[in-house]
Amino acid sequence: MPLRTWALACLAVLTLFVLSEAVKKEDFKTCSQSAFCRRNRALADSVNADAHWTSPYTLVKGSIRFSNNYMTADVQNTQTNNVLVLELQVLVDNTVRVRMDEKSPILPRYRDHEQFTLVDKAKPIKPFQSGKNTDGVVKIALDAERKIVVTPSPLVIEFYVKDEPVITLNDRGFFNFEHLRTKESHKPKMVKQKKEDGTEEEVEAPEEKDLWEETFKTWTDSKPRGPESIGMDISFNGFSHVYGIPEHASTFSLKETRGGEGAYEEPYRLYNADVFEYEMDSPAALYGSVPFMMAHRKNESVGVFWMNPSETWIDIVKTTEQAEGTAVQKVLNLVKPSSNKKSTKTHWISEAGILDIFVFFGPSSKDIFRQYTRLTGQPAMPQNFAIAYHQCRWNYINQNDVHEVDSQFDHHDIPYDVIWLDIEHNDGKRYFTWDSGKFPDPIKMQKELDQKGRKLVTIIDPHIKRDDNYYVCKEAKDKSLFVKQPSGDDYEGWCWPGQSSWVDYTNAESRKWWADKFKLDNYEGSTEALFVWNDMNEPSVFNGPEITMPKDMVHNGGWEHRVLHNVYGQIYHGSTAQGLEQRTNVPKRPFVLSRAFYAGTQRFGSIWTGDNMAQWDALQASMPMILTIGVSGIPFAGADVGGFFNNPSTELLVRWYQAGAFQPFFRAHAHIDTKRREPWLFGDPYTSMIRSVVRERYALLPYWYNTFQEAHETGVPIMRPLMVEYPEDENVFAMEDQYLIGSGILVKPVTEEGATQTNVYFPPSDIWYDLHTHNLVHGQGSQVVSAPLDVVPVFYRGGYIVPRRERLRRSSHAMTLDPFTLVIALDKQGEANGSLYLDDGETYAYAKAEFLKVCIHHCLCTC
């Protein structure tokens, strides 16, 4: 073996060994190690310490302009004299857009991600009323109850409902818009410091450090554009609970990050990263980023979408203050009697781009889900098989292994729909290929699965092995489709195949080329029964800073990776989905699982919570994680059943199957070094327990399909926090260990080792029935419920009709013509309502009204 080849092989082994260990926190930045976060946090600290601080941003007199549907004005930083342009636009459906960009930048700032994020910019509408008073305060009314008030100096933007400000921008004066400049023109800020001899000297202020170059560990970020960050404080007035900004292994109701009981020491970070064995209860960045936040109080919800795909940090502080009225309220005579008011104050900090915020007035959480997904896209309607049970591990080793696992499911009468192949199935980690020694006839394998109504999923990652004899690499190289280095050469990094490059999916030509790779005659060995798993698409780069791509790599149009990092995986996901959709003459709904995600990912398929651990706290964390992802617009989510790393106990595995069967994406998955854990390997009673809960998932598939259709139509989460259905019940506002599936089924998974009972909260406004026995639950509020290992506490909600299919089949496809059973759970008035939605389960014919929806009331059916 040549010396260079031997050295590369050793590096590969070393890399894989390092990545198999638990997460190393020192591999990922803290706020203090990220210069733009450090600068903006320092600004917030200095503002808080200065009682006389006034934000330097003011509206320029005479610059305010009104059109039919928006207001524009110049905003000047009185410290630097740089001028921004403010655009404030009223949109349909109680939505407002606020944008600010430099008026005359020396270079354009990034906003191209809008084409990947928004499907509907929302039709602007003429405000109900607009104008300004003699003090220059601008007032724009959406209707008789909702209005926007813009104070000119200092600039403050308030959003009112019924004469009360519910959201305020820049009320604490943290707004900071770093203007683009040349290094030569930059005048560093100087401060005085004492020397050892007691005299003073002028030195550069601490915030001047790392403006033009930044080093983390062994990597240096060249930062050719210099500083360009944006910071803004957003206050949710009168709201003590906020939700969203996934992905973090954190609580559903978000914690404070700057003081307070149980507060984190770091801000929540949004920066898609490959984090092995991530730690629990942490604001650290994980695989996906959705900069959306919703606030809720009794019977009212509001929300914001901070549309920026660069690295972002969010601080959260909760306050109790006396509401005496702001200056704006006093000017407009909107002051109410003073009272103690709990509020949540947030500070958003992004590395680059422009300020682009959507504000949602609600008024309910369901309204906000509709408003947000109207902009970023409706959740995709999946094929029937996709919502059933998936069996996966790294790796089913060959074609015979796949056949044996498939046969054993039938032998043990356990239904399943999809078997998965990880990275060992292809030729040397060359995607779109097969290891012919292990999988000599993949088409035959797929046809055998398809005869039973089952599917195959293969993994296809974004890193492309650098090999001129590999057709995918050669084509991308010849067409110049790879992400570039600043020098113009292809960027190369290290991942599973060894030396690799990454396609630039921001390029339309790249997206079309990638989608074409999934045509049946291009992806050799594929059939219509094959679907796709996109992993490692943060993107993961083993030898890159923070295990990802360096920020100064260059994309189409000359844009640095830093400005679009968080949307990269979403664009890749969408390109793959497009390829599956267009490979047949009649387009069929794709199934593509993605690890990385961003706002709009819901249009393309499902995601999962990444590489979790086989331990009880990881099972517990899966619920708030999926709830958070769901309220952030992505309803089709799940966690690896059993935990990816290490070997679960039989008790933990059973409890995880019980939880997973009542989560939207239901897949068992495991690391290559774990013991095999197919359900039949544990013997009775454990195999029977797993079989029972998997069968329950299949019996409820008609109900699941109904909830997916509801999510597709309205954006409402499938796995639903109780605060959505009980917006007036403060007991459930932070609840994360139990939840609803749709509106009609309550689930309380058991997540404590050795537990044989659990506490369940039954909202007292409804009555409840045990799903297993149909017995009425006696008592309301918190109740202790028996939960031996063979029982998962699940309850029907009174007033709802739940469709089921009871015949045992090997796959969901085999159930297509089976009859339905309707479970009618009467409410306190003896009434119940429900619906049954049916379509062909695989195409888009439903969009042409080719579906059946039966609405049921009092057991009388109407179509």
Whether 410 and 365 map to the same domain: the answer is: no
Active-site residue flag, 535: yes
Whether 395 and 449 map to the same domain: the answer is: yes
Neighbours of 259 (CB within 10 A): 9
pLDDT of amino acid 259:
86
Distances, alpha carbon 490 to alpha carbons 266, 480, 499, 543, 551, in Å: 36, 8, 12, 16, 15
Judged against a pLDDT cut of 60, whether residue 326 lies above it is answered with: no
Give the tokens for residue 349: 């900090």
Confidence of residue 475 (pLDDT cuts 50, 70, 90): very high
Which residues constitute the domain of residue 157? 34-180+228-376
pLDDT of amino acid 200:
76
User: Is the residue at 736 inside a domain?
Assistant: no
Catalytic residue among 233, 461, 535, 766: 535
Give the tokens for residue 79: 């410290």
Dihedral sign, Cα of residue 25, residue 30, residue 32, residue 36? positive
Q: What is the CATH number of the domain that holds 529?
A: 3.20.20.80
Active-site residue flag, 143: no
Whether 320 and 259 map to the same domain: the answer is: yes
Going along 675-780, which residue ranges are E strands?
719-720, 739-741, 745-747, 757-762, 768-770
Helix pair 616-631, 650-660: axis angle to 10 deg? 10
Is 638 within 8 Å of 657 (Cβ atoms)? no
Judged against a pLDDT cut of 90, whether residue 609 lies above it is answered with: yes
Question: What is the share, in percent, of the chain residues with pLDDT greater than 90?
Answer: 88
User: Is the residue at 669 inside a domain?
Assistant: yes
User: Is the residue at 789 inside a domain?
Assistant: no
Give the tokens for residue 393: 């591990």
Give the tokens for residue 608: 């999962």
- When divided into structural domains, the chain yields a total of 2
Distances, alpha carbon 261 to alpha carbons 120, 249, 255, 318, 342, in Å: 41, 18, 9, 10, 15
pTM summary value:
0.95
Confidence of residue 324 (pLDDT cuts 50, 70, 90): low
* Final residue of a structural domain among 714, 736, 761: 714
Look at 283 and 861; give whichever has higher pLDDT. 283
Whether 128 and 60 map to the same domain: the answer is: yes
Whether 244 and 336 map to the same domain: the answer is: yes
Judged against a pLDDT cut of 70, whether residue 174 lies above it is answered with: yes
Whether 60 and 105 map to the same domain: the answer is: yes
* Cβ-based neighbours of 336, under 8 Å, separated by 6 or more: 163, 164, 323, 325
pLDDT digits (tens, 9 = 90+) for 362-393: 999 999 999 999 999 999 999 999 999 999 99
pLDDT digits (tens, 9 = 90+) for 78-126: 999 999 999 999 999 999 999 999 999 999 999 999 999 999 767 788 8
Which residue is associated with the tokens 């059109």? 67
End-to-end distance of the chain based on CA atoms, in angstroms? 72
Tell me, what amino acid is at 85?
A: V
Is 29 within 8 Å of 120 (Cβ atoms)? no
Neighbours of 241 (CB within 10 A): 20
Whether 364 and 403 map to the same domain: the answer is: no
- Which is nearest to 324 in space by CA: 338, 305, 304, 342? 338
pLDDT digits (tens, 9 = 90+) for 480-526: 999 999 999 999 999 999 999 999 999 999 999 999 999 999 999 99
User: Is the residue at 141 inside a domain?
Assistant: yes
Judged against a pLDDT cut of 70, whether residue 327 lies above it is answered with: no
**Pairing outcome for strands 138-141 and 146-151:** antiparallel
pLDDT digits (tens, 9 = 90+) for 216-273: 999 999 999 999 999 999 999 999 999 999 999 999 999 999 987 889 999 999 999 9
Distances, alpha carbon 611 to alpha carbons 255, 275, 493, 622, 657, in Å: 23, 8, 22, 11, 17
Helix pair 442-451, 399-411: axis angle to 10 deg? 10
Average pLDDT over residues 443-467: 99
Confidence of residue 574 (pLDDT cuts 50, 70, 90): very high
Confidence of residue 1 (pLDDT cuts 50, 70, 90): very low
Q: What is the CATH number of the domain that holds 174?
A: 2.60.40.1760
**Pairing outcome for strands 530-534 and 498-502:** unpaired
- Which is nearest to 755 in space by CA: 657, 641, 616? 616
Judged against a pLDDT cut of 50, whether residue 768 lies above it is answered with: yes
Whether 290 and 399 map to the same domain: the answer is: no
Question: What is the share, in percent, of the chain residues with pLDDT greater than 70?
Answer: 95
User: Burial, 822: exposed, middle or buried (Cβ in 10 Å; 0-12, 13-18, 19+)?
Assistant: middle
Whether 661 and 537 map to the same domain: the answer is: yes
764 secondary structure, DSSP code: T
Lowest mean pLDDT among 148-162, 196-210, 580-594, 698-712: 196-210
User: Is the residue at 615 inside a domain?
Assistant: yes
Give the tokens for residue 788: 């031996």
pLDDT of amino acid 68:
76
Judged against a pLDDT cut of 60, whether residue 459 lies above it is answered with: yes
Q: Please give the Cα distance from 590 to 578 (Å, whole number).
A: 8
Strand partners, 86: 73, 100
Is 221 within 8 Å of 310 (Cβ atoms)? no
User: Is the residue at 674 inside a domain?
Assistant: yes
Provide the phi-psi class of 592: left if phi over 0, else alpha when psi is between -120 and 50, else beta: beta
Helix pair 701-714, 365-376: axis angle to 10 deg? 70
Judged against a pLDDT cut of 50, whether residue 5 lies above it is answered with: no
Instruction: Please confirm whether the linkage preceding 247 is cis (ω < 30° from 0).
Output: yes
User: Is the residue at 359 inside a domain?
Assistant: yes
CB burial readout 52-87, b (16+ within 10 A) else e: eeebbbbbbeebbebeeebbebbbbbeeeebebbbe
Give the tokens for residue 742: 């749709």
pLDDT digits (tens, 9 = 90+) for 804-814: 999 999 999 99
Helices and strands in the chain: count of H runs, count of E runs: 15, 47
Whether 534 and 627 map to the same domain: the answer is: yes
Read off φ and ψ for residue 644, nearest 5 degrees. Answer: -75, -50
At residue 343, the 3 state secondary structure works out as strand
Tell me, what amino acid is at 48?
A: N
Tell me, what amino acid is at 854?
A: V
* Final residue of a structural domain among 667, 694, 714: 714
Tell me, what amino acid is at 312?
A: T
Neighbours of 202 (CB within 10 A): 9
Q: Please give the Cα distance from 721 to 737 (Å, whole number).
A: 9
pLDDT of amino acid 9:
40
User: Is the residue at 518 inside a domain?
Assistant: yes
Whether 294 and 365 map to the same domain: the answer is: yes
Whether 410 and 318 map to the same domain: the answer is: no
- Which is nearest to 719 in space by CA: 639, 617, 837, 833? 639
* Final residue of a structural domain among 683, 714, 745: 714
Q: Which helix (H) or strand (E) holds 151?
A: strand 146-151
CB burial readout 303-332, b (16+ within 10 A) else e: bbbbbbbbbbbbbbbbeeeebebbebbebb
Catalytic residue among 611, 737, 766, 839: 611
Please, what is the average pLDDT of the chain? 94
**Pairing outcome for strands 129-132 and 138-141:** antiparallel
